[in-house]
Amino acid sequence: RRVEHVDHARKSAEQAVKAIKAKEAGESVPEYDYLPYFYSRSFDLSWQFYGDNVGEDVLFGDNDPTAAKPKFGSYWIKDGKVVGVFLEGGSAEENQVIAKVARAQPPVADVEALKKEGLDFAAKV
């Protein structure tokens, strides 16, 4: 798993310190649970990715570069579950929804239906 984000660096360091202090006190801490993500913003372009980019990728949305505001993305399916989601041009609410999908890892019965549903699939999770 690749995790290239400052947020992960900070949170994993915090987890390490908590674990060390807990061990010194004879206690334990919950296991580190982190949802990997990347993002980029450049002028009018922005995208976010959550989860893992392994397995079969399923493209959705409008990726026509001549569109006024293209919005497109991809789901990554592994072992019948969504394990990663990418979205270009999403709103803050849509980005929260794709993060929820990547964490929940819902099953996918029909990949062709997923392509057609696109972002609507994520809204149902």
The confidence band for 82, taking pLDDT boundaries of 50, 70 and 90, is very high
Which residues make Cβ contacts (< 8 Å) with residue 56, sequence separation at least 6?
Answer: 76, 77, 78, 111
61: containing domain: 36-123
Q: Are residues 58 and 86 in the same domain?
A: yes
Average pLDDT of the chain, as a whole number: 91
Which residues make Cβ contacts (< 8 Å) with residue 83, sequence separation at least 6?
Answer: 51, 52, 54, 55, 76, 77, 102, 105
b/e string for 22-53 if b means 16 or more Cβ within 10 A? eeeeeeeeeeeeeebbeeeeeeeeebbbbbbb
Number of domains in the chain: 2
Q: Are residues 28 and 46 in the same domain?
A: no
Q: Are residues 18 and 79 in the same domain?
A: no
Q: Are residues 19 and 41 in the same domain?
A: no
- Per-residue pLDDT at 80: 96
Which residues make Cβ contacts (< 8 Å) with residue 106, sequence separation at least 6?
Answer: 81, 82, 125
Q: Mean pLDDT over residues 64-93, rounded?
A: 91
Q: Are residues 57 and 83 in the same domain?
A: yes
**Residue length of the chain:** 125
CATH number at residue 55: 3.30.390.30
Tell me: the pLDDT tens digits for 27-43? 999 999 889 988 888 88
